[in-house]
Amino acid sequence: MSRSRRFKPEADDGHLDLVPLIDCVFLILLFFMLVGRISYDQRNEQITVPPTKTALKMIENKDWTRVVINVFGSTAAGKIPRNSIAWNADKPWVSSGRDEQAFVGYQKLRDKLDLVYDSSRKFDDPNGTKVPGGGILQLPYVIVEVRADADTEYRVVQEIQMLLVDSVNPRPDQSGASMQPKVPQKPFVNLEFTTRKPGEK
């Protein structure tokens, strides 16, 4: 008699004791809020970045803008071709690095970089590089994060680095056949390669 009363004291008058339930739900809610991270669209999950040991945590600085260039690698999961480039959370475009289509892809990337350059605050190049029209080369307060999959072809990362420091049109049908870097016009020099510690999965 006393035993059944001890276990169901509130049910007698038609009310369930919800306090334990609320306790549990609150704990689960707290767990998800603290441990989980809301998926960040700029960081496509199909990309597995290479492992390195000297990598450090990314630092967010209010004075600097960050843009992410995603480059896709292995297509085992199937949908996005290898070496495709995605600007932040945009839809990826193909840049195989092997044909005319690739150069259109690189040109598209340079066009986006130009827009970012034009809208960013700038500072004088610490190297004091002179521009042809006179004055010091202006560098933007922008960090470009190259988030390339470990299986991306190295040529794509190379080409992105070249695109960042100069404004040379990489299409072979323009500016003659020479693709040698010239004096940069709208360069981005602060670059970060996304990576992970080897022990982390």
Partner 1 sequence: MSSDSDDTIEKGRIDLVPMIDCIMLLLLFFMLTTKFTSEEKSISSILPTNKGTSPAKPDKVVEPPQMVQIVITPAGLPMMNTEREYQTWYDQNVGVGQGIIPAAELRMGGNPATIKLENRKLSQRDNPNLAGEVENIHAFIHEALKRYEIPGKPRKEQSEIVVSCFSALSWRYALIAYDAARSYEVKQGAIFDAKDPNSLTNARAVSFAPPRVRNYSVKEMGAELFELHRLK
- The Cα 197–Cα 49 span in angstroms is 10
Based on CB atoms, which residue is closest to partner 1, 6 or 199? 199
Does 29 sit near partner 1 (CB under 8 A)? yes
Within residues 96-125, the interface with partner 1 by CB under 8 A covers 97-98, 102-103, 125
Residue 181: CB minimum distance to partner 1, A: 5
Stretch of 1-9, 25-33, 85-93, 115-123 contacting partner 1, by CB under 8 A: 25-33
Cross-strand pairs, 68: 145
Does 179 sit near partner 1 (CB under 8 A)? yes
| Cα–Cα distance list, 8 to 4, 16, 17, 19, 21 (Å) | 6, 8, 8, 13, 15
Residue 92: CB minimum distance to partner 1, A: 16
Residue 163: CB minimum distance to partner 1, A: 10
Based on CB atoms, which residue is closest to partner 1, 3 or 181? 181
Q: Residue 21 half-sphere exposure, CB side, CA atoms within 13 Å?
A: 3
Cross-strand pairs, 86: 70
Stretch of 1-9, 85-93, 112-120, 172-180 contacting partner 1, by CB under 8 A: 172-180
Residue 85: CB minimum distance to partner 1, A: 13
108-130 burial, b for 16+ CB within 10 Å, e for fewer?
ebbebbeebbeebeeeebeeeee
